[in-house]
Amino acid sequence: MLKPVPGIISLHHFDSGTSPESRRRSIVTADVNVMEYLKPTDIQSLPKHRGREASTFYPRLVEAFLNSGEAAMQVDVARIGRKPETVRSALAKAIKSGGFQEKVKVSLLGGEVILLLR
């Protein structure tokens, strides 16, 4: 036990076993039956594809822009519900993966995402 030093306030934290740290420690101790955290599942019931699929929204947006015949169009970022940089990045990826680099470019101008014909 440490002896108090005069003039220094000492704050001690007494863990009653209910803090998040002590609960985490109790989970990783050796006496835990880890089989309680596992449950059997039928492999046939699992989906064939796991994980995220590529969105078709942004490639469709690029195609709609090309079909519109307009030289430039602003993308309604607020309606999409993403940040302007996220939309710009997703459109740039859609343009590259769709092979539209020679026809379309995307710009971020003052918080507005613009699709432009080259």
Q: Where are the domains positioned within the chain?
A: 57-117
Q: What residues contact residue 12 under an 8 Å CB cut-off, 6+ apart? A: none
Instruction: Indicate whether 18 pLDDT > 80.
Output: no
pTM: 0.57
Instruction: Indicate whether 25 pLDDT > 60.
Output: no
Which one-letter amino acid corresponds to residue 47?
P
**CA dist 15 → 2, 21, 23, 27, 28 (Å):** 17, 9, 11, 16, 17
Average pLDDT estimate for 15-39:
65
Sheet holding 72-75, edge to edge: 72-75, 112-117, 104-109
pLDDT band at 36 (very low <50, low <70, confident <90, very high): confident
pLDDT tens per residue across span 80-110: 999 999 999 999 999 999 999 999 999 999 9
| Contact present, 81 and 95 (Cβ < 8 Å) | no
